[in-house]
Structure 1
Amino acid sequence: MRGTHRLLTTIAALLALQLGSLVAPAYACGCGAMVTDRMARIGVDRETSAVHWDERTGTEQIVMRFTVHGDADRAAWIMPVPHRADVTLGDPALFEELERLSAPEHRDRDHFWPRGDDWPFADDDTDGAAAAPGRAGSGVGVVGRERLGPFDVARLTATDPTALSTWLHRNGFELSDRLSTELRPYVERKWEYVAVRLAPEKAGEKLYGALDPLRIAFANDRPVYPMRLSRLARTPQSLGLFVLAGHRMEPRGSIGGDRPEVLFAGTVDRPSGALAELAGTGRVFLTSVDQSFPEPARIDGDHELVRASADTPYREIVWHDRLWTVGEIPVWLITVAGGLLLLTAGTLAAIRTRRAAARERRVRAGVRSAP
């Protein structure tokens, strides 16, 4: 019965998600905004990013990997940056290494008495195209353009949000009016922009699954992770953030989402491979943060990353409870059965003792009454 209820609940959730995606395009991206033509749909299921901040040189690097869904065969993505940025392809192996380093520690924990998943309580229901440059006087400047795998990257300056909208329209994409409004604070602060056209390398393919990571580097005297444009997301968002710096780092606030949760904090003494390419070969402190945004419209700013009060290490522990057994027989069952046997044996012995004593009393009484 429980299995049937779970199945119906899962089907209902999937139907609700599918119907929600049919209503309107999902403008979703933790550090920017996905833009596509209005007849197509695209949404970001999960965004995982690595931020490396070098305090000595005042440089910040962000490597982003998106997992997307929808039926779009092309899309554009915009990310505000505080200074002029260099964009290259990232190494997918970076995230594999970071996930390995920050993986939870698994420990076994034995228990005596049976619990919900143990017999006799357990049941069978187990969980198992190149970008066109801006024209003179248009308010948009294209300061660089590169083709990186499936990405056509343009680095832009803009004097007003409408200019960005015009640039995107000329390149075949429609821009949400809400996005134009949300870009205004960045324009006022004179930030620049990384605009990316995403298109599968083979004609007819859809943008789906994990995309190749992009690496964006720029000067910055204090690390920041742009998040404000995520206000446009139509569905709940989740962010996985790896921060690499000289010390343990943490977001200054929750910026409208759930409280950021630290999943790992610790030093990496000798980085190698893709991690060394990003952060160098010297000692670096790695902090892994996870955060959910149930109501993206409440996001009110960008993540400012600040040094924690102490470089306290932390690793999540996942406990695996095991029932004590001898062979395949639970110890509690042996104990209870043995106790019952001892109790039964004791009771029988007491009965026999009482009966023997009664017989002895009757014999004695008979001897005394004999003539």
Structure 2
Amino acid sequence: MRGTHRLLTLVVALLALQLGSLVAPAWACGCGAMITNRMDRIGVDRETSAVHWDARTGTERIVMRFTVHGDAEKAAWVMPVPHRADVALGDPALFDQLDELTAPERRPRDYFWPRGRDWPFSSNADGASAGALPGKGPGVGVVGRERLGPFDVARLTATDPTALGDWLHRNGFELSDRLSTELRPYVERRWEYVAVRLAPEEAGEPLHGALDPLRITFANDRPVYPMRLSRLATTPQSLGLYVLSGHRMEPKDAIGGDRPEVLFAGAVDRPSGALAELTGPGRVFLTAVDQSFPEPGRISGDHELVRAAADTPYREVIWRDRLWRVGGIPVWLLTVTGALLLLAAAGFGLARTRRRRRRTAAAAGPAGVRSTA
């Protein structure tokens, strides 16, 4: 227990060292704790990631993009990884391509009788529904450090918890006790960390909107998507996950969120562009999963991604209800008009027949005797 405690202290101190003055956790994103100054706030509106797992080589790649809001001009986040990682900028075009591949199929569906938005109930006749990271110090190992666009990226190891603890005390750095607690499982499994510091390109502007994506590559014998640190979030979280592998994949369980919803599953025979750069040119199976976490504190661990029972294809269908028309005229109106005309014609015919009979009866005289005078 003492060794684990010292190792945990080591990691917490190391993160404080690498993130400089960004020492107070605010909200969290799924792949790591989002950290900013105590006086600033940053929120993650949406986390979208693509996970590619190559079973043949035992390699996992995660490309992640965060959409954020708040008043923070600088922030940082920490992502635990099971093995030594390489970090590079991702291609923003990847997510546009994935969005296009997984877009729902839109089908029209005609209805006969007018509804609330149709004439004569409504005038709407359309009918449509609706600063740089510090270098290494005593006991601190920086495996790699890169400047990637707006990001300062450090890949971290450490060996001397005593030296780091002394440094932490001398420099007055502190991290949340909650973050220390949530890091414990990663410490016990001897994971490493990617620490990223980011700032907007225009000085004085708060971080806002979709940030540039990052691609992290590491060895792994089974695909996993780190989520535990999202327990630190104070607002509901939303995760969009694209999983690319040889077969249809799915989260093993809900890990404390709503049930993961599969929005798309299907093979991509000839990947191209940014997708081919991530997965290679060969056939790959793409699964799109969406999940909400209304109560982030209930998140129980990381997403383990497993092979589904079958490679069953699926695409979401969005129906567009429309009023049935012929030549631009609602069919119900043609039908009702036609029925009224038929009724009118039948009534006219019946009245004409009755008049003819009355005239015939009048001409026949009493007792049916025809007058010849």
Partner of 2:337: 337
* 1:174–1:348 distance in 2 versus 1, CA, 3 Å: farther
SS in structure 2 of the partner of residue 278 of structure 1: helix
Does residue 39 in structure 1 map to residue 18 in structure 2?
A: no
Task: Give the match for residue 84 of structure 1.
Answer: 84
Q: Distance in 2 between matches of 1:153 and 1:286?
A: 29
**2:16 maps to which residue?**
none
Determine which structure has more spread, i.e. the larger CA radius of gyration: 2
Closer/same/farther in 2, CA of residues 108 and 201 from structure 1, 3 Å limit: same
In the aligned structure 2, how far is the partner of 1:282 from the partner of 1:199?
A: 37
Q: 1:269 to 1:33 in 2, by over 3 A?
A: same
* 2:134 corresponds to which of 128, 132, 135: 132
Question: Does the residue aligned with 2:205 lie in a helix, a strand or coil?
Answer: coil
The equivalent of 2:216 in structure 1 is 216
Task: Mark the CA change 1:193 to 1:232 in structure 2 (over 3 Å): closer, same or farther.
Answer: same
Are residues 1:231 and 2:247 paired? no
Q: What residue ranges of structure 1 are gaps of 5+ in the alignment?
A: 1-23
Q: Secondary structure at the match of 1:27?
A: strand
Unaligned runs of 5+ in 2: 1-23
CA contact (8 A) 1:28 1:230 kept: yes
1:301 corresponding residue in structure 2 = 301
Structure 1: how far apart are the matches of 2:174 and 2:92? 30
Range that drifts further, 29-38 or 354-363 = 354-363
User: Which residue is 1:199 aligned to?
Assistant: 199
Q: 2-side partners of 1:285 and 1:170: how far apart? A: 52
The code of the aligned residue for 2:244 comes to L
Shift of 1:118: 2.3
How far apart, CA to CA, are the structure 2 residues paired with 1:128 and 1:241? 26
Cα shift at 1:128: 7.7
- Deviation of 1:105 after TM superposition, in Å, equals 1.5
For 1:329 and 1:207, locate their aligned partners in 2 and report how far apart those are by CA, in whole Å: 52
Q: Classify the secondary structure of the residue corresponding to 1:337.
A: helix
Q: What letter corresponds to residue 156 of structure 1 in structure 2?
A: L
Q: Which residue of 2 aligns with 1:62?
A: 62
% identical equivalent positions: 76
**CA deviation after TM superposition for structure 1 residue 111, in Å:** 2.4
Letter in 2 for 1:136: P
- 1:176 positional shift: 2.8
Match of 1:87, SS state, is strand
Kindly tell me the number of residue pairs found equivalent between the two proteins.
Answer: 346
Q: Deviations over 1:7-63 (max 9, x none)?
A: xxxxxxxxxxxxxxxxx9851312211100111110110111000000000010000
1:255 match: 255
Q: Is the CA contact (8 Å cut-off) linking 1:36 and 1:174 kept in structure 2?
A: no
Q: Secondary structure at the match of 2:95?
A: helix
CA shift, 1:133, in A, is: 3.6
> What does 1:285-296 align with in structure 2 at a 5 Å threshold?
285-296=285-296
State TM-score, norm by structure 1.
0.85
Letter in 1 for 2:132: A
Superposed, which structure 2 residues align to 1:88-99 within 5 Å? 88-99=88-99
Aligned-residue offset at 1:236: 1.1
Query: 2:366 is aligned with what amino acid?
Result: G
Deviation track 1:293-323 (CA, whole Å, cap 9, x = no partner) reads 1111111111000001111111112222222
The 3 A distance-change label for structure 1 pair 328 and 163 is farther
Supply the distance in 2 between the matched residues of 1:270 and 1:308 (Cα, whole angstroms).
22
Distance 1:308 1:217 in 2: 24
Kindly provide the amino acid, as one letter, of the partner of residue 233 in structure 1.
A
**C-alpha distance after superposition, 1:97-123 (max 9, x if no partner):** 111111112222222222343223346
* Separation of aligned partners in 2, 1:170 and 1:313: 58
Q: Partner of 1:155 in structure 2? A: 155
Equivalent position of 1:14 in the other structure: none
Alignment correspondent of 2:145? 145
Q: Residue 28 of structure 2: SS of its match in structure 1?
A: coil
- Would the aligned equivalents of 2:138 and 2:164 in 1 still touch at CA under 8 Å? no
> Which residue in the other structure is 1:12 paired with?
none
1:159/1:187 contact within 8 Å kept = no
Task: State the secondary structure of the residue aligned to 1:144.
Answer: strand
* Aligned equivalent of 1:279: 279
Residue 355 (str. 1) matches residue 349 (str. 2) = no
Partner Cα distance (1:160, 1:294) in 2: 39
Separation in structure 2 between the aligned mates of residue 132 and residue 304 of structure 1, nearest angstrom: 34
Other structure's SS at 2:203 match: coil
1:30 equivalent in structure 2: 30
The CA deviation at 1:231 is 1.0
2:5 is aligned to none
Q: Which amino acid aligns with 1:243?
A: V
- Structure 1 residues 176-195: aligned runs within 5 Å: 176-195=176-195
With normalisation by structure 2, the TM-score equals 0.85
**8 A contact 1:25–1:41 mirrored in 2:** no
Aligned partners of 1:161 and 1:187 also within 8 Å? no
Contact 1:228 / 1:299 at 8 angstroms: preserved in 2? Answer: yes
**In structure 1, how many angstroms separate the alpha carbons of the residues matched to 2:303 and 2:81?**
13
1:191-212 deviations in Å (ceiling 9; x for gaps): 1111110112232121111100
Q: 1:161 to 1:326 in 2, by over 3 A?
A: farther
Report the CA distance shift for 1:286/1:211 in structure 2 as closer, same or farther (over 3 A).
same
